[in-house]
Chain A
């Protein structure tokens, strides 16, 4: 009798295990929706140092951006987790400074444009080995600029799964349409020039304890080709006008540190610091702190502040400061010496049963930020993220 009971229990156990295995297997082998994100943003800026007019003149610009991002998941026969991501974004912008490529026009073809940027990516995570392979391609197009990108990466978790090392190689092959300021054009045949970017990105993340994790990041970025912008004017001290001219190589080294800490049960500290240097003489420091506060299990509010400070690139000089002796010259204030402050707040709502009666709509986030530069430029941005699961 005892043997029969033991045998029956063993059989039940085996059947149960088999049933669970079948269930898992049935679910995991299907391609299922992991999540879809819809992100919309409205950006507006103003200032008086446009590079199109040689470092003086309006920088007024608005940009409306919409992106949709869909991630699907599928486990393969070896139980490796495959993620497929498709994303497409469309921006519409109006730019008062671009309008001044033709100084006489008062709403030229350059005053507005659209940018479309689709991308595809894939990752395969082997949970038993702690490894992940990634790859992706992207494309971006607007009237005067096309960009083709690709990346490949590899991650390896440490034996105790507390740390993870990631290496990624990215490349972008771009084409710039050579639209000169109207007074510097020989003819209306624009022509194009290439700009290539190659980057190696390394990262190491580490769990410190139940509340704390950090990540160290570093990139080595080499850019070659046409790195100026053809419609940026530079006025020399003799009042002659020229096209911006910058070296055809630039090597950048940014290194960063992220640290996220769960303080108590309701407050999270998200800190980030970056040091940047390149061979154009530009150095910068960036520090940001965001503190999400959980008002309830489903609602959090996240005030944030970001401080940025940079030294000028050695090829920058303001309006009418460059001379004919300079080999390279720009009056683009994005390469000047300045400090900037960016602050604002976001609210995230993720109720258990979905939003607005839609069960799959499981998160809504709204975020606003105000940005100021010490050289007078300021901007505002408001973004909305809807996440479906």
Chain B
């Protein structure tokens, strides 16, 4: 499984590097796909409770533009 993680990490980094180099200017009228509600760069509203239980049941949290503390998680 560690190899799987390494491969995924490498793929993500590769995509990012390649993407940054190939940025094109997109005009407002060309953003219909980028403006689709499923394309939002962020968590869905419906994921609120999922993110909450994951932060309680796992030792790590953050880097998801959400809360980084507060509440309890004591159960």
**Interface residues of A, Cβ cutoff 8 Å to B:** 37, 39, 41, 43, 45, 61, 63, 65, 67, 69, 93, 95, 97-98, 115, 117, 138, 140, 142, 144-145, 147, 149, 160, 162, 170, 172, 174, 176, 197, 199, 201, 203, 205-219, 221, 223, 229, 231, 252, 254-260, 262, 268, 270-276, 278, 282, 284-287, 292, 294, 300, 302, 307-310, 313, 334-335, 339-340, 342, 346, 348, 350, 365, 367, 369, 371, 373, 377, 379, 381, 383-385, 387
Contacts and interface: CB of A to CB of B under 8 A. Distances in A.
B63 A292 contact: no
A377 B56 CA distance: 13
Contacts of A69: 45
A214 B58 CA distance: 25
Question: Which residue, B1, B46, B61, B75, has most C-beta atoms of chain A within 10 A?
Answer: B75
A209 B24 contact: yes
Contact of B72 (A144, A272, A292, A365): A144
Contacts of A346: 44, 46
Q: Number of contact residues on B: which range applies?
A: 35 or more
A218 B68 contact: no
Given A144-B74, A172-B69, A385-B45, A214 B19 contact: yes
Contacts, number: 222
A176 B39 CA distance: 39
A209 B22 contact: yes
B60 A252 contact: yes
Interface of B: 1, 4-5, 8-9, 12, 15-16, 19-20, 22-26, 30-31, 33-34, 36-42, 44-50, 52-54, 56-65, 67-72, 74-75
A364 B49 CA distance: 17
Contacts of A162: 23, 25-26
Interface SS majority for chain A = strand
Nearest to B39: A260
A43 B49 contact: yes
B9 A285 contact: yes
B41 A262 contact: no
Given A63-B49, A213-B34, A258-B42, 8 more contacts: A144-B74, A147-B70, A174-B69, A215-B41, A221-B62, A260-B40, A310-B59, A384-B46
A138 B59 contact: no
21 contacts: A145-B71, A170-B68, A172-B69, A174-B70, A199-B62, A209-B24, A216-B16, A259-B12, A262-B33, A268-B39, A272-B64, A274-B64, A278-B60, A282-B59, A287-B5, A339-B1, A365-B44, A381-B50, A383-B48, A384-B46, A385-B46
A209 B46 contact: no
A194 to B, nearest CB: 13
A250 B34 CA distance: 38
Question: Which residue, A63, A212, A276, has most C-beta atoms of chain B within 10 A?
Answer: A212
B71 to A, nearest CB: 5
B59 A335 contact: yes
B58 A201 contact: no
A352 B53 CA distance: 34
Contact of A43 (B23, B39, B53): B53
B42 to A, nearest CB: 8
Nearest to A205: B41
A384 to B, nearest CB: 8
